[in-house]
Structures are given as structure tokens and as C-alpha cells.
């Protein structure tokens, strides 16, 4: 069975935010208005966090950490959803959202240990651009990264290859100028993600919780 995963090489990430912009454009993720930003109502399916450790400009030591939905093998968000809006798809293993079922209770947001579920405060028609390949989303629901499932489904229908380096991948992976991200099938020993994980020391965020994330970081 196919289980999609992403490997992120932290040595390559320069914090340019290209993945963040690509994600917003590809998935029609609303940008926060000044008022929403002030209230910390930020919708960022894909985030790049910079933690400054020591020093003063221009000699500063910092760590850069890209974060997105971990598409867990054992997702706590699925367990707490009272209406079955959040589910794990068997083919591919992505954790997805049935927008028409979501009642906006935010239980999944509380359950997610990675802070990667976002309440939508903005009506979809208010966006300057909407990608016709992704479903519209109304205000009052929770949304998140989908691994650009619309891209993957289209590739399957057209008989195209999925996965790095020369197949169809999520928008964030395609947009990264430094080749930080690698996407592919964990269950395929010949995939680039499997080869990277076998050759380099790696870790998952909060693996101690037993969620078994599908996002791996090369150390």
C-alpha cells in the first residue's frame, strides 16, 4: 500500500518562504488581514519558523524549521472529530478534511500536537485568486495541508509518476529552490524518501506521542 511522506533536509533550508507562498497560491489559502493578524488569526498550512539563538546582526546564529501537517499514521485529530469531517485516506495515508461536514468545533485543533490546523475566518470568494483544482471552503470550518492531494489524484488519473525527483509532488516541494524537500512513498524501498531515510540520521517531531508522523527531518 502507498504511504506518502516528506523528508526535509534542514541543512539545505535557507528560510526563503518560497514553500509558504507556493502553498497559499496552490491551495487558495487566504492571507490574514491586518485585523486577523493582530488577533493572531493566521492561516498558514505551511510555515517556516526561524529561531534566533545568539549574536547580533549581522552575525546571528539561527535555526530554521519548516512545519506542516504531519499526516500522522495515528492522527489524534481523526479520533476527536465528532462528525467524521477529519479522516485518514487509506490510499496514500493522507489525513484529509471533508469540508462539508466540518462544524467548526475546533476539537481537532486542540488535539493536533503540531499546531497545524487552522480555523478559516475568511470566505473563499474574498480571495483575489482561487485555484479551480481545489474545493472552495467557507468561513467557519477548520482546514489544513493536504499534501496537495488534488495534484496527486490528477497524476494518478493521467498515469503520471508521483514523487521526487522527477514526478508530481506537492507545491511546496516543487517550489523550493534549494531542494530541501523530498516527497514519495514510504512503502517503496526504491523511492527517494526511503533511500534518504536509510542513508541519513533523521527524526520526527514529537515521535514520543505515538502519532507516527509522515514528515521526517534529516539531522
- When the pLDDT of each residue in the chain is averaged and rounded to a whole number, the result is 91
What is the per-residue burial (b if ≥16 Cβ within 10 Å, else e) of 29-60?
bbebeeeeeeeeeebbbbbbeeeeeeeeeeee
d(CA 195, CA 219): 15
| Percent of the chain surpassing pLDDT 70 | 92
Q: Which helix (H) or strand (E) segment is 27 a member of?
A: helix 18-27
Span 125-135, pLDDT tens digits: 455 678 999 98
Q: What is the pLDDT of residue 181?
A: 98
Whole-model pTM: value is 0.90
Categorise residue 153: left if φ over 0, alpha if ψ from -120 to 50, beta otherwise.
alpha
Domains and CATH numbers, the chain: 4-218 (3.30.70.20)
d(CA 180, CA 163): 14
Mean pLDDT of 49-54: 85
Amino acid at each position: 500500500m502507498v504511504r506518502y511522506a516528506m523528508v526535509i533536509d534542514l541543512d539545505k533550508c535557507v528560510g526563503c518562504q518560497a514553500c509558504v507562498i507556493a502553498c497559499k497560491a496552490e491551495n487558495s489559502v487566504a492571507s490574514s488581514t491586518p485585523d486577523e493578524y493582530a488577533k493572531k488569526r493566521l492561516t498558514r498550512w505551511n510555515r517556516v519558523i526561524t529561531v534566533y539563538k545568539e549574536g547580533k546582526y549581522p552575525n546571528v546564529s539561527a535555526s530554521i524549521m519548516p512545519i506542516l501537517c504531519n499526516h500522522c499514521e495515528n492522527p489524534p485529530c481523526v479520533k476527536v472529530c465528532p462528525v467524521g469531517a477529519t479522516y485518514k485516506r487509506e490510499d496514500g495515508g493522507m489525513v484529509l478534511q471533508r469540508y462539508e461536514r466540518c462544524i467548526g468545533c475546533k476539537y481537532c485543533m486542540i488535539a493536533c500536537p503540531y499546531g497545524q490546523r487552522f480555523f478559516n475566518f475568511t470566505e473563499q470568494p474574498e480571495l483575489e485568486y482561487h485555484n479551480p483544482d481545489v474545493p472552495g471552503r467557507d468561513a467557519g470550518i477548520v482546514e489544513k495541508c493536504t499534501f496537495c492531494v488534488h495534484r496527486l489524484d490528477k497524476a494518478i488519473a493521467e498515469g503520471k509518476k508521483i514523487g521526487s525527483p522527477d514526478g508530481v509532488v506537492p507545491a511546496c516541494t516543487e517550489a523550493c529552490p534549494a531542494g530541501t524537500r523530498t516527497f514519495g512513498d514510504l512503502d517503496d524501498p526504491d523511492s527517494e524518501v526511503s533511500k534518504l531515510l536509510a542513508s541519513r540520521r533523521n527524526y520526527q517531531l514529537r515521535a514520543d506521542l505515538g502519532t507516527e508522523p509522515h514528515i521526517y527531518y534529516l539531522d
